[in-house]
Amino acid sequence: MNHTAPDRYIGRFAPSPSGPLHFGSLIAALGSYLRASACRGQWRVRIEDLDPPREVPGAADDILRTLEVFGLHWDGDVVYQSRRHGRYQEVLDDWAARGLTYYCHCPRRRIAETGGFYDGHCRRLKLGADGAAVRLRMARPVYGFEDCLQGRITVPAALAEEDFIVRRRDGLYAYNLAVVIDDWDAGVTEVVRGADLLEPTVRQIALYHLLGAPEPGWLHLPLATYGGHKLSKQNHAPALDKHRPGRALWQALAFLGQHPPTVLFGAGATELLAWARSHWCLEQVPKGPHIALPCADSSHLERPALS
């Protein structure tokens, strides 16, 4: 497998402000940060505030403060998706003019009844825009891709060939659309994120092809799971403790297979990250899509025996 980095590496971390960062978020942030550092590139931060109903007031600022406390300092200005609606609409207007999108009024119930994937029902109906979602005509589906860590990934044909939504019926822009345009505009050369986004990647690659944009590399880190579910804000994963960043950083490094010295358990963020930057080894990161934790709270993970 080729792990050679491009000459000009740009990575990113893109959290949604639906709550505070937790241990699962830290794994994605730390892994992407260390990958960018190892490639002597830039690491940028984007706040994915596309979905106001799911956002928690003050969460975006809290996320940025947490990254700073944990020593994860980003390059350049923070990008907010809520300020880029005009850019997303510009792309949609171009696709509409070229006949690449259409309006869809199908409720979720109908899609569930057809097996969970949309069957193209509205493709030829020429429906109006009121209360409709916008779907992309999938003319060039992508069935798989090569992940730098997970290897060859393939997805079901029904998922790859589906005309997926690029703007929701409530007028909000879809994640797949926004993330591709944002990463393209930022010059991102490799996307490092959690393995829960492996399947949507094929749709994002299809969008890169449609836009004529250079496709980035892909590196999906294993997910931290507890009780069969990934640690997430929706599953009430506890927030990171900003008063003791060193402990969670040590645990995250251990989770990522980096074997930090026991003497550094609970050390300051600066000291731990200095060690991590000089010892980062992608080949040591576990290649499975998820790793089960004994407890949802990283503070209760197995502690090293300190001499």
Determine if residue 13 is labeled as part of a ligand binding site.
Answer: yes
152 annotated to bind ligand: no
Q: Is 48 annotated as a binding residue?
A: yes
Q: Phi, psi (5° rounding) for residue 219?
A: -145, 105
175 is in an annotated binding site: yes
Burial class (CB in 10 A: 0-12, 13-18, 19+), 96: middle
The C-alpha atoms of residue 77 and residue 73 are separated, in whole angstroms, by: 11
Place of tokens 């596309």: 50
281 is in an annotated binding site: no
User: Is 39 annotated as ligand-binding?
Assistant: no
Q: Which amino acid is at 17?
A: P
242 known ligand binder? no
Residue 12 annotated as binding site: yes
Give the gyration radius of the chain's Cα atoms: 20
Please report which helix (H) or strand (E) contains residue 190, including its range: strand 190-194
Nearest-5° Cα angle at 303, 33 to 260: 40
Question: 3-state DSSP call for residue 76?
Answer: coil
118: annotated binding-site residue? yes
Give phi and psi for 90, each to the nearest 5.
Answer: -60, -45
- CA–CA distances in Å: residue 105 to residues 48, 50, 134, 294: 26, 21, 9, 44
Q: Is 208 helix (H, G, I), strand (E, B) or coil?
A: helix
Output the CA torsion sign for 25, 31, 37, 40. negative
Residue 15 is assigned to a ligand binding site: yes
- Residues within the annotated binding site for L-glutamate? 12-16, 48, 175, 193
- Residues within the annotated binding site for ATP? 233
- Residues within the annotated binding site for Zn(2+)? 104, 106, 118, 122
- Residues within the annotated binding site? 12-16, 48, 104, 106, 118, 122, 175, 193, 233
